[in-house]
Structure 1
């Protein structure tokens, strides 16, 4: 190995006419040191990058099933397998199935070919340096069940994709000859939900991914050999107690397994870094037994750490991490060693006001994050790709990811979350249906395995039992007891994902941005705890990709117009919850009907920005009153689709990504489209004094409209939303109906004026018939955009809000078809009128209609907005005391809040791009200056492309995109991507593409 590397260096040096003998010797020394370090771990991988794996359907083995354990068996007609991976993916990689991402290929696969048992086979040699007494064969996960054989001898059956296996194969392996390893893998039992659990439940298809042939069965996690002496270390755990943020007391728990037939005595040593904190203890172990060792500060004062480096979520501080190297020695011989990573932190929780709040290190954290359906729909996400995915979440300023249905199982996911300060809401494998798994004991053992495997990760913040349902007895109690026993109740257990101090799940379709600011954004399913922003575990919208990604998955003949092939990628009835029809309608209403695919994708990105930004800003606008967090469905893409994503399957950053990144920045300035207030949002651990908040309004010609400009000096304290000012688009936003006259079709209880008296204890009630109405006379004409109704238990199930100038001719401004009791906040387009009516269509009870309050909001009709163009821009800036910009935000607003079609009349823009390209640490880093010398360049999309091929370079980390420059303005953008993305001689070019190109 060292020799090969030397030759490579020598050859490379000669080509460059440089040769440095000292460099070569240094390289040899480093390489040998690395080799020693590798082998010193006494671990060797058996994944398919290290040895050859093959697979074949069990049904096709026939008489060969008796021969496959022989070393001279010919497996030429077997399919080469990807391990870790799935059966179906192995056939895809081998070219035996068409690309499942493209068109409807995956829908055409013969499922019966894969929905059956398969046999895996590989051969390996025992490394010569395995000189210790015991050789172990280790499995980290098989989906869903695996019978494991070594050299024809059955070792065990692993059941459930989280179940680990560690087998003493010392007496079975051949030291001087090849060893044959075979695994018979059985698919999960159907229905997966929840009968086949624990497994990857969505593998049977969902409203965002197709049915995966073989149900993602296979050897889905690592396989490796290890070599130890008589005593091994199992599941070491460093539990942190934070009595104050200035001192951490550590409890260390380790299981030691003595595999010999004699009692043993040895020394357990731990070294914690940073700090070089060392502890050791002599321990006596019984023969053939497991001994649990517990160490604390009472025994080892050094386990009390003064001024520890705490682990903080993204935005609240640095995600500091520690390591602990455990070693067990018998005499002078190292029997086994393990290294773990952990963070010093303390999670606490409260449910004040019926809303779940999370605090860490005594600081409340406002949750900003998203759901992961799966890491990838065929389990093809591996290793460093997790670092990329989680880094993109950090770049979006997220601080939490929900591991939906526990569908992401790889350790690299948790490692990346630890590294980037992303908390994890971690589900188990149950979904809604009130049924039990086939084997509840297998389920329970997998729960315990999962907790033990990931509990050292600082990022775990919440355990959740069931998606949109309660775990059926006895599982709910078992899960809670497991968390108490194996995680010390350090993390909160939430039995159901959308009830119990949560505000439900959904809606999942595109809504007017004002919906998210309006009390309250209703969920689709879930909470019985009353309406609230609260903590919403799922909410989302369809998110259409950019044109480049669309063309990668849809055949050219199906590009335009929308058709059934789009539905194969979940823009249609398959993803009905995403309301793609409404998404289409919103594009047309807001930006004009698209005439081709390019127009559609371009306008879709503006809609993506608007909606996704508004979801977070709506919740942040009500931070702690009563909002505590929001997680969108979904924040990443498991399958190449057109719904529920921020970056897409190919890592192209859609408008949704940029809307989220803006809204979630730790120090943020934002505008409410409902009341035009401008707030400073501080989701950091720091107080800021003497900040300057500024708002400037520009017309489509790029000129500012001075009368609407505002500024204020504000103090922004940690975890607050502070109003700075209101942009005076309207002269007032008070309740226009207060103490005004009311007329009703009938009155059976109370008085009509009880609904405008400002007293929520008095009410009006109609006769017990559906066709009843009540209206308020505002006495003057106003521009009206919102109504608040406070219903008694006798509520309107279906009704209309209507406006009139004469109380004779009524205009429908909103139709409610799923009314509820309590407060209903109804926003609509600005409409001029004097009379506002609730027209009942269908009652929600056997009684009449009964209202406590009827409030109307709007503005005086004499508000002077004549100086505004029909579409105009709002630019917000937040500066610190040294005039440094902390946050900048940009909106487009219409006099009709749903009509931005005048953006299509912007003059064509030409932007200039100047770039500096450097290579650094295996990456390209490009710094580009984008300028607009002649006029407005609206919604500039930034792309790095291959100069030679013109194709987009992905993945790439981009600092900004879809921004707007006024005449003479410029912006600096940084783009970073792996050097391997380009071949020799290829160069990157930065493209800046305005909406009005």
Structure 2
């Protein structure tokens, strides 16, 4: 059980390195369709059984992932290729029912050593065989329910083992008839609903059938530690920058399984911050015992805060079982954050208010679907996507109920970057009967009782709660998207399961429940979802804690070229929309493009769309923030990302290329921000932090389209903590610009060292609301200087000489110098930025991976494209 050529995940230190080992079975899988296999599971799982003409399989992965990797089908993300792949509804369930086989080496256990086979996620049902034996007595069902089997007695004496798994698709698979979740019947399974299609995605042909999450082998020395539970209590009102913190309380428990025939005596302990908390235990044979430790007081803790409010300190907690003869038999590690999350009802806004460590937090959130529609997850992609959310200055992600409880790596990234998580369970108003819907096969009363197996729902909920409950980022549980689960499930979840297994997080019965945001406006309590006049976000009141409000989000021409065939790269016409654009769910920009002039090419259209994108999401963040604690306690944007190549509602495309939505939102959602109400011309500040800002200079001035700067208006101001403050109106200056055909308004907050704490440039239309004056701006010749700070970090200085016009709306891109293609993902601390005459702007660019051969490309509205090679 020691040497192997597979990846090890080792827990513990050198002294007890063999106490607990887990490694992943992610290499050497083969698969074959059930119709081509004429052998039983006991035969297939015999190492001597020949596997002729089997396909290399991708595990973890879905059946369709394997078929794509084996070049059997074309990329469904490109053009109309998805329609070329047989859909399971028409092809039949057997078409995507597959056997998966893996040969692995595992030395036969010695003494009390135990080996467990773990499946972290299978969709939808499976039977498992090992070395000629059936592993699971009953067929496993359920996409979310993890599986763990003690296979100690089934392992081969010579260490050569074969695993065979047959995976069955969901049943029913759902008719992809164009409805939300197709005909709704996919919701009869305890599984994700979107694979039958939604208004932002096309149906997924195999409905995500497969071994979609990790398969691991876990070795212990006799006992198994599992399901740790750590609760942190942080009483009182805390401040992130306090030199010392009052103590925090740690409550910890863990389950210990003794699978052997012998009684086990020893000591279970956990270590945090180099402190050890112990408890003696006696374990009966073939039993599992829950151990609760005495409360531990952690002195001067480093606290975990949401993004924008403080640091995200994490502690590692290491549990160990030590036998009477001082051997470590098993151990388990868990990262935690010391924080306490509470809520209260705000009678003024009539919505839920969130507190972290005693401080009220204005929620700026994004709705998350899933990282990849085909469940191709990786820690690197999760890290990049969550980092983008941090870069947007958001502090919450809502995981939508038509998808899944995300993987632990997702929550690890949220822990790291400070994104609170609002976690839905697997129900939606569309499939589960909230509305009458002619696209659905069954009536509302029938759909209201979906899924069919309520016991499986409850078992899956318990399992997923145990999996996620220790993450500091996990802030709220929610019964479902726009609807509660059926009453018998809801009552057990709310009254029994959550109090017993968690007990620390507020539970919303559904995503737009009145206990979150009282709906006094009628409708569903969500939206709107399309293009809006920026004035609307400032002037028109909506739901006081809106769980879904959003807009457009198409990328630029480089983004479109990745998935739209060349002959379909045409300017979209809403009256006669190109079929590929329609297939990829494009929603139009209304008259907002024409306000900038008539685009001559698709590249022109995309460039203008980025201006609209920026303005839309800056206005959304600013309009909600302007009414913080008065109208609103938070907002959640529908939506920040897409799991495939859709043309709507996204801050970056599927390939992790950001568009201007991200940077408009980043600007408008700054923790400390200066802004202008476009309706009244009032200059305002928003301070989302807990600290006051004293002796701050407020500076504003206007710039004409030819680059002429008008006189500054400056004053020293005081900014209160967690506040919105108006100062003065600049409506007369804005009117003057409008009469001239447009111009710019520059706002700044500067500290005592004249460093810019917040800067905000608005482009102002003419008297009829058009921006056509921008088209007549002279060219601005920008000087570019780059400095490589490290192999993963670049600093760029952009200088616009005096006498120039504004160098407007510059896009920076790190590219491959050989191909000109963008290197992705790359993180820019500013982009789609403008440089005023006589000024220099700096941008820091970074990557998780080292930059190698690359170049920096810039282009702008009135700035010619230039490329500078970089060397590392």
Asked if the contact 1:125/1:175 (under 8 Å) is kept, the reply is: no
- 1:655 maps to what in 2? 660
Going from structure 1 to structure 2, the CA distance change for 1:375 and 1:987 (only over 3 Å counts) comes to closer
Q: 1:880 aligns with which of 751, 755, 760?
A: 751
Question: CA offsets, 1:12-66, max 9 Å, x none?
Answer: xxxxxxxxxxxxxxxxxxx999996996364242332xx3111222232134656
Deviations, residues 105-126 of structure 1 (Å, cap 9, x unaligned): 1122112358442211111110
The equivalent position to 2:128 in structure 1, one of 148, 157, 160, is: 148
Q: Of residues 491, 498, 506 in structure 2, which corresponds to 1:492?
A: 506
TM-score scaled by length of structure 2: 0.88
Rounded Cα–Cα distance in structure 2 between residues aligned with 1:410 and 1:684? 31
3-state SS of the aligned residue for 2:788? Answer: strand
Match of 2:154 among 172, 190, 201: 172
Q: CA deviation at 1:175?
A: 3.4
Q: Distance in 2 between matches of 1:150 and 1:4?
A: 19
Q: 2:269–2:279: 8 Å Cα contact kept in structure 1? A: yes
**Is contact 1:876–1:890 with CA below 8 Å preserved after alignment?**
yes
Q: Match of 2:610, SS?
A: helix
Larger mean CA deviation between 865-874 and 637-646 belongs to 865-874
Aligned to 1:125: 105
Q: Which residue, out of 452, 462, 469, partners 1:438?
A: 452
Take 2:843 and 2:602, find their aligned partners in 1: how far apart are those partners? 28
Which residue among 452, 459, 462 is the counterpart of 2:476? Answer: 462
Aligned to 2:342: 348
Aligned to 2:178: none
Match of 1:214 among 203, 206, 211: 206
Q: Secondary structure at the match of 1:462?
A: strand
State the Cα distance separating 1:690 from its structure 2 match. 2.2
Cα displacement string for residues 426-484 of structure 1 (whole angstroms, at most 9, x for unaligned residues): 01000012322010110111111111100000001111111112222112212213453
**CA distance in 1: counterparts of 2:704 and 2:10, whole angstroms:** 67
Residue 516 of structure 1 and its aligned partner are, at CA, apart by 0.7
2:555 to 545, 554, 566: 545
Q: Which residue does 1:418 correspond to in 2?
A: 415
2:803 pairs with 1:932: no
Question: For residue 701 of structure 1, what is the aligned residue in structure 2?
Answer: 706
1:536 counterpart (542, 546, 566): 546
> Is the CA contact (8 Å cut-off) linking 1:913 and 1:992 kept in structure 2?
no
Contact 1:197–1:430 (CA under 8 A) maintained in structure 2 = no
The match for 1:79 among 13, 34, 55 is: 55
- TM-fit CA distance, 1:261: 2.4
CA contact (8 A) 1:86 1:218 kept: yes
Q: Answer yes or no: is 1:505 the counterpart of 2:526.
A: yes
Distance between the aligned counterparts of 2:830 and 2:41, measured in 1? 58
| Residue aligned with 2:492, SS | helix
1:889 aligns with 2:760: yes
Aligned to 1:325: 318
> In the alignment, does 2:257 pair up with 1:257?
yes
Aligned to 1:722: 725
1:335 and 2:338 are equivalent in the alignment = no
Once the 2 structures are TM-superposed, how far is the Cα of residue 195 of structure 1 from its aligned partner?
3.0
1:219-275 Cα distance to aligned partner (Å, 9 max, x none): 1111111121332111011111223351211111111111122322111011113xx
Aligned length: 805
- Give the greater-gyration-radius structure (CA): 1
Residue in 2 that maps onto 1:810: none
Aligned to 1:135: 115
The question of whether the paired residues in 2 share the 8 Å contact of 1:712 and 1:724 is answered with: no
The answer on whether the counterparts of 1:913 and 1:990 sit within 8 Å (CA) in structure 2 is no
Q: Does the C-alpha gap of structure 1 residues 65 and 295 become closer, same or farther in structure 2, counting only changes over 3 Å?
A: closer
Q: Report the Cα offset of residue 416 of structure 1.
A: 0.5
Where do residues 476-875 of structure 1 align in structure 2 (5 Å cutoff)?
A: 476-500=490-514, 501-502=516-517, 504-521=525-542, 532=543, 534-562=544-572, 571-572=581-582, 575=585, 580-581=587-588, 583-588=589-594, 590-706=595-711, 710-729=713-732, 865=736, 868-875=739-746
**Is 1:954–2:821 an aligned residue pair?**
no
In structure 2, stretches of 5+ residues that fail to align are: 175-180, 239-245, 434-447, 520-524, 865-872
Residue of 913, 916, 919 corresponding to 2:784: 913
| 2:465 aligned counterpart, secondary structure | helix
- Write the deviation string for residues 658-679 of structure 1: whole angstroms up to 9, x where unpaired: 1011011111111111111111
Higher relative contact order (Cα pairs below 8 Å, separated by 6+ residues): 2
Aligned ranges 1:47-58 → 2 under 5 Å:
47-48=25-26, 51-58=27-34
Using the TM superposition, give the Cα deviation of residue 4 of structure 1 relative to its aligned residue in structure 2, in angstroms. Answer: 15
CA contact (8 A) 2:266 2:323 kept: yes
**Alpha-carbon displacement from aligned partner over 1:856-888 (angstroms, at most 9, x marks no partner):** xxxxxxx97378522111111011233321100
Q: Match for residue 79 of structure 2? A: 103
Q: Distance in 1 between matches of 2:202 and 2:735?
A: 54
State whether residues 684 and 718 of structure 1, in contact with CA within 8 Å, keep that contact through their aligned partners in structure 2: yes
Residues 658 and 254 (structure 1 numbering): CA distance in 2 closer, same or farther, change over 3 Å? Answer: same
Match status 1:283 vs 2:277: no
* Aligned residue in 2 for 1:62: 38
Q: Distance in 2 between matches of 1:240 and 1:561?
A: 54
Instruction: State the distance in 2 between where 1:131 and 1:334 align.
Output: 15
Distance 1:867 1:84 in 2: 58
Given that 1:689 and 1:881 are in contact with CA atoms closer than 8 Å, whether structure 2 keeps it comes out as no
How far does residue 613 in structure 1 lie from its aligned partner after superposition? 0.8
Structure 2 CA distance, aligned partners of 1:958 and 1:243? 38
> Cα gap change, 1:214/1:724 in structure 2, threshold over 3 Å: closer, same or farther?
same
Residue equivalent to 2:870: none
User: How far off is 1:648 after superposition?
Assistant: 1.2
Distance 2:618 2:737 in 1: 28
Kept after mapping to 2: 8 A contact 1:115/1:215: no
| Alignment CA distance shift 1:956-1:127 (3 Å) | farther
Q: Secondary structure at the match of 2:654?
A: coil
Q: Aligned equivalents of 1:865 and 1:964: distance in 2?
A: 22
**Contact 2:386–2:417 under 8 Å retained in 1:** yes
Worse-matched range after superposition: 317-326 or 67-76: 67-76
Equivalent pair of 2:706/2:778 in contact (CA under 8 Å): no
Distance (Å, rounded) in 2 between the aligned partners of 1:615 and 1:333: 59
Do the aligned partners of 1:371 and 1:403 also contact (CA within 8 Å) in 2?
A: yes
Report the secondary structure of 1:887's partner residue: strand
SS state of the match for residue 466, structure 2?
helix
Q: Is the CA contact 1:231–1:256 (under 8 Å) kept in the aligned structure 2?
A: yes
Alpha-carbon contact 1:447-1:482 (below 8 Å) kept: no
Shift of 1:178: 1.9
Is the partner of 1:147 in helix, strand or coil? strand
Cα 1:474–1:89, aligned 2, differ >3 Å: closer, same or farther?
Answer: same
Moved more, 88-97 or 254-263: 254-263
Q: Note the residue ranges of structure 1 that are not aligned, 5 or more in a row.
A: 6-30, 298-302, 522-531, 731-862
Please name the residue that 2:242 is paired with.
none
Aligned to 2:847, what secondary structure does the other structure show? strand
Instruction: Report the RMSD for the aligned CA atoms in angstroms.
Output: 2.7
Q: Distance in 2 between matches of 1:385 and 1:478?
A: 35
> Is residue 553–residue 640 contact of structure 1 (8 Å, CA) maintained in 2?
yes
Q: Distance in 1 between matches of 2:408 and 2:682?
A: 44
- CA shift in 2, pair 1:506/1:158, >3 Å: same
Deviations 1:749-770 (A, max 9, x none): xxxxxxxxxxxxxxxxxxxxxx
Q: Which moved more, 1:559-568 or 1:692-701?
A: 559-568
Whole-angstrom distance in 2 between the partners of 1:868 and 1:562: 32
Q: 8 Å contact 1:448–1:486 — kept in the other structure?
A: no
Deviation at 1:909, TM superposition (A): 2.6
Secondary structure at 1:729 match in 2: helix
- TM-aligned CA deviation for residue 76 of structure 1: 3.5
| 910 and 894 in structure 1: CA distance in 2 versus 1, 3 angstrom threshold | same
Change in 2 beyond 3 A, CA 1:866/1:462: closer
Distance in 2 between residues matched to 1:272 and 1:672, nearest whole Å: 49
